[in-house]
Amino acid sequence: MAEADIPLWQLLRAASTAVQGVRGGRSLDTELEQIPARVRPGAQALAFHVLRDLGRAMALRQRLAPRAPPPAVDALLCSALALLWDPLRAPYEAFTLVDQAVEVANRDRRLARHAGLVNACLRRFLRERDSMVEATGRDEVAVWNHPVWWIARVRSDHPAHWESILRAPATQPSLVLRVNVRRTSQAAYLRVLEEAGIEARPLGPCGVVLLKARPVTAIPGFAEGLVSVQDAAAQLAAPLLLEGRDAGDTLRVLDACAAPGGKTAHLLETSDAQVTALDVSPARCERVQGNLQRLGLSARVVAGDALEPGAWWDGQLFDAILLDAPCTASGIVRRHPDIPWLRRESDIAALGAIQAGLLRTLWPLLRPGGRLLYCTCSVFRAEGQDPIQTFVAHNTDAVLRPSPGHLLPRGAAKPETLPDNLEGEHDGFFYALLEKGPR
């Protein structure tokens, strides 16, 4: 059955159920896996739209129904309101959305007795749309579509750019590819795309931006390993770590927290390094292996905890270490709009302890003169500049080399170390390159 043949109420029911799961603490990816394959693409598109406008929808629902209804009803109301509130961006006609939301309630035993409430709230909203939108325009969560604590932290961390950072997730991210330079070149692959009638442009030294997103199965050469999907910011890791090294040098490199393997693959595509790809999850290690196999690359893939090197380290020092540390993922909300609604402010301190522990544990595994690249996909200083400053202050053999630092999404602020044609196409990241000198 084609997506166009699936009734809207089915898509809306699946999307609102996924949104309810996110609000209950489960990732959108996990929720989407529970949706039948034929319904999933349409439900995902609606869920993304809802999550990008969830702050506004929650504020509107509060005005329409001050006493919170049961979670499933609340999720359905908020989903419909998120899709309705801005007529310029609404994916369907207003009365169609209202009708189909009521249909969801009528067809679901959990919701049926609340169908009248759903109908009354949504029809009242249509009557009073302008005044209600104006009233919620004074609500920070409604305006910025992030929790209050998140807004405050971004404003404090980046006072000159906080508004553009918070606006970035409302935009559709570009589909960015990394060319496997062991198989082809950026220029040659752009010709392949041109011959296939696919509009694209170069990005950085080996990236390509598709002007219109498409499934990976429809990307020429993907199955053959010519390209990988990787954000422009993530494509900086391998060049930063290998900068100044001869491509033919046989370096011993550790990619800690390696899954899904994009940075591991980039290291292998651009050097003859002997790479150990480490991840704590055996299942994610299998994914790393699968990605390397598609690209025709090979690494030592190890399932192990980076905080416990005694269980997997052979005792030989590494020439370079890539530490892509676990973080809040606050910089990749464009691609994962569920993140602000999943995270709690307390997560930052908990993850910070892990980040600091990883730095302390892995630093002794690096040879003198070697380099460790610390990175997180976060815009929060507590997961970037702050822990690096603390680490350097407490380790006299750690020298901070020129690094991008906080790379803010969509070019809110462009470090001098970035290629000019990268600006505006990247997610939020942090990079710090440390070199090990004598104590």
What confidence tens digit (pLDDT) does each residue in 197-251 have? 999 999 989 999 999 988 899 999 999 999 999 999 999 999 999 987 765 668 9
pLDDT band at 438 (very low <50, low <70, confident <90, very high): confident
In percent, the amount of the chain with pLDDT more than 90 equals 88
Taking the C-alpha atoms of 135, 136, 140 and 141 in order, what is their torsion angle to the nearest 10 degrees?
Answer: 170
pLDDT exceeds cutoff 90 at 2? no
Least confident of 61-65, 182-186, 405-409: 405-409
Q: What pLDDT shows up at residue 282?
A: 96
Q: What pLDDT shows up at residue 243?
A: 87
pLDDT exceeds cutoff 70 at 4? no
Q: What pLDDT shows up at residue 171?
A: 82
Q: What pLDDT shows up at residue 246?
A: 66
pLDDT exceeds cutoff 60 at 412? no
Per DSSP, 312 falls in state T
Pairing mode, if any, of strands 207-210 and 175-179?
antiparallel
Token digits for 434?
């440390």
What confidence tens digit (pLDDT) does each residue in 11-31 have? 999 999 999 999 999 999 999
What is the distance between the alpha carbons of residues 332 and 386, in angstroms, rounded to a whole number? 20
Helix (H) or strand (E) holding 302: strand 300-303
What is the distance between the alpha carbons of residues 79 and 69, in angstroms, rounded to a whole number? 14
Total-model pTM: 0.92
Token digits for 165?
């950072």
Active site residues: 377
Pairing mode, if any, of strands 300-303 and 398-407?
unpaired
Token digits for 387?
């822990």
pLDDT band at 174 (very low <50, low <70, confident <90, very high): confident
C-alpha distance from residue 94 to each of 68, 84, 99, 142 (Å):
23, 6, 9, 20
Q: What pLDDT shows up at residue 428?
A: 93
Q: What pLDDT shows up at residue 173?
A: 85
pLDDT band at 424 (very low <50, low <70, confident <90, very high): low
- Torsional sign, CA 369, 375, 380, 383: negative
> Domains in the chain and their CATH numbers?
3-145 (1.10.940.10), 175-229 (3.30.70.1170), 234-436 (3.40.50.150)
Mean predicted confidence (pLDDT) in 182-205: 96
Q: What pLDDT shows up at residue 1?
A: 44
What is the distance between the alpha carbons of residues 366 and 316, in angstroms, rounded to a whole number? 9
pLDDT band at 416 (very low <50, low <70, confident <90, very high): very low
What confidence tens digit (pLDDT) does each residue in 298-354 have? 999 999 999 999 999 999 999 999 999 999 999 999 999 999 999 999 999 999 999
What confidence tens digit (pLDDT) does each residue in 126-169 have? 999 999 999 999 999 999 999 999 999 999 999 999 999 999 98
Mean predicted confidence (pLDDT) in 181-210: 95
Cis peptide before 368 (omega within 30 of 0): no
